Amino acid sequence: MTDTLPPHWDLSQLYTFGSPGLERDMGELKELSHNFLRWRERLSDPGFAPEEFKSALDELVGLQERVERLAGFADLSFSEDTADQRYTSFLGVVEEAAADLANDTLFFELWWKGLPEERARGYMDSVAGHRYFLNRIRDFKPYTLSEPEERVVNLKEVTGAQSLVALYDSITSRYRYQTSFLPEPALLGREEFSVHFRSHDPLTRRGAYREFYSVWSAQGPVIGQIYQSLVRSWRIENVVLRGYASPQSVRNRRNDLTDEAVASLLKVSREEAPKVFGRYFAKKALLLGLPRFTRYDVYAPILEESGGPIPFAEACSLVDSAFRGFSPRMADLAARVAADGRLTARLMPGKRSGAFCRSILPEDTPWVLMSYNGRLQDVFTLAHELGHAMHSMLAADEGVFQFQAALPTAETASTFSEMLLAQALLKGETDPKRRASLLCHVLDDAYATIGRQAFFALFEVEAHRMIEEGATPDELSDAYFRNLCEQFGDQIAVPPEFRWEWVSIPHFFHTPFYVYAYTFGELLVFSLWRLYEKEGPPFADRLIRILSKGGGASPADILASAGVGPLDDDFWRGGFKVIGEFVDAIWMPPRHTRGMAARWEKSP
């Protein structure tokens, strides 16, 4: 690659393995967490004063910070080398300590949740900085059962839903897929195999999807049965026992979104996504020179990466200048990650795959892990993860309980950062082929997180309803297939094996109704992008205001405080409009030269 290696982080800023500091902090955490139990008696005293409440909460903050630091170190060392057994076992030790802490402090949360409104308000005034966090705990009061009931639910959960999810994971992680469509077939796991869905060769893509779903459909009815039980258990606990309005509204409450806002998001996505992505896929078909575009071709790449690898230093300066053009303050924050030794981008054996940004404490520069290969995709990953880091640094004032953004807004800074990079790259790019490829990069992502996830969410709502009415796994597959046909419209053929796709989506099993948060987050960014295009540079301050709130208010309130929203049909339609403009911007070569081997000409 290049003569200078990408950087590797310096974890010794946190701890060193076997050092006295690490031992001491582990010991102190146990001691202090036990010590916290002494508050239990004080809480039942009617004379428990607001100053005492503040002291108890300060202690809780201290405990949380300690456990975050230890857990952060354990996570990061494990990610750096997943094969090192010292790290795996330390991870286990810290997880246990965190569970002990949660147990030792649970009484405080239960007491707080059960407090009459007026008394709670009196205490709240003494700790205004944690207001949202404290209010959130109380929001769930109406859905909380008695203590003995909660205990039964918790205990039964381990052998109930949790064990079904574990069973799903262990059955499906054993699946292997045969690459019989390649000259030298091999048997691969899911991650390695999935790259063939993005092959340049249409026959490879088709072969890969057929093999993938033939494996999943063989056990489809059994996996479907696991799903039925999970859905029933979800409903019994949340709707029947806890009294939530619907299976989905549990998740909406946890995301602090109203049922109406989510319904509006899904309704508009159902109307707009098939139109705008249908238009995109029609253009993509022409760029690829395919006479007929099918579901197999959705992720087909437009062109092979040309030129050599991009040196890491160049990637950094591309990202930096994209950020700097928007907001020098944001660029400075992002630059701190590498400067403070918090970035690992080097390829190393045993390193965790993928990429992430891990914030440990609000006032601390976050840690970023990725494996830099010099592809354009890696430059986007760098921008994405540095966006997360920036978000967390901007929200430092919110404190340990509130600085991390909640699910629906967690991808705002990261996705916006990718858009800034795409914009900067487009500005400097005159070659129409590479311009089209950049636009397709943005649109492929937009499809995967907006259109696809919205239709997943719509299916989930329907599946929960159908199972309540006694539907079989086969009937669910039929419903899923109808959902796909609606999503892709008349122009894009959906081959029949896709009817079992739903059993291969882990989120449906692990975290019901999780997926719409992707649609929410990414479509939100397109809506924000629209404001940026309208307002120009002054918009940077508004975005910073949004990001600085971290997770310190509900998503709707955070946006409203920067004058963004309300989250109604028009708002979401605005996001789709911007996606449509990206589709329009793809320049098409003259008809006779279209296709893979087309002779590209300069755009007029």
Residues near Zn ion, by CB under 5 A: 414
Burial profile 39-70: b = 16 or more Cβ within 10 angstroms, e = fewer: beeebeeeebeeebbeebbebbbebbbbbbbb
Considering the complex, state which of residue 215 and residue 368 has its C-beta at the smaller distance from Zn ion.
368
DSSP state of 310: P
Shortest distance (Å) from residue 241 CB to Zn ion: 34
Question: In this structure, how many other beta carbons lie within 10 angstroms of the beta carbon of residue 602?
Answer: 8
Considering the complex, state which of residue 56 and residue 406 has its C-beta at the smaller distance from Zn ion.
406
Considering the complex, state which of residue 163 and residue 353 has its C-beta at the smaller distance from Zn ion.
353
Shortest distance (Å) from residue 151 CB to Zn ion: 36
Bridge-based pairing state of the strands 177-178 and 343-344: unpaired
Shortest distance (Å) from residue 583 CB to Zn ion: 24
Give the amino acid at 406: A
Shortest distance (Å) from residue 64 CB to Zn ion: 23
Shortest distance (Å) from residue 392 CB to Zn ion: 12
Considering the complex, state which of residue 216 and residue 529 has its C-beta at the smaller distance from Zn ion.
529
Between CA 493 and CA 481 the distance in angstroms is 11
Considering the complex, state which of residue 402 and residue 414 has its C-beta at the smaller distance from Zn ion.
414
- Please report, for residues 24, 64, 102, the alpha-carbon distance to residue 99 in angstroms, rounded to integers and kept in the order given: 19, 12, 5
Between CA 461 and CA 466 the distance in angstroms is 9
Considering the complex, state which of residue 302 and residue 376 has its C-beta at the smaller distance from Zn ion.
376
Burial profile 270-306: b = 16 or more Cβ within 10 angstroms, e = fewer: bebbbebbbbbbebbbbbbebeebbbbbbebebeeee
Length of the chain equals 604
Shortest distance (Å) from residue 338 CB to Zn ion: 18
Shortest distance (Å) from residue 370 CB to Zn ion: 11
Between CA 465 and CA 460 the distance in angstroms is 9
- The phi, psi pair for 65, rounded to 5°, reads -65, -40
Shortest distance (Å) from residue 384 CB to Zn ion: 6
Assess contact for 209 and 200: CB atoms under 8 A.
no
Considering the complex, state which of residue 238 and residue 414 has its C-beta at the smaller distance from Zn ion.
414
Shortest distance (Å) from residue 409 CB to Zn ion: 12
Considering the complex, state which of residue 249 and residue 412 has its C-beta at the smaller distance from Zn ion.
412
Report which residue's Cβ sits closest to Zn ion: 414
Considering the complex, state which of residue 127 and residue 395 has its C-beta at the smaller distance from Zn ion.
395
- Please report, for residues 259, 380, 459, 461, the alpha-carbon distance to residue 466 in angstroms, rounded to integers and kept in the order given: 20, 40, 10, 9
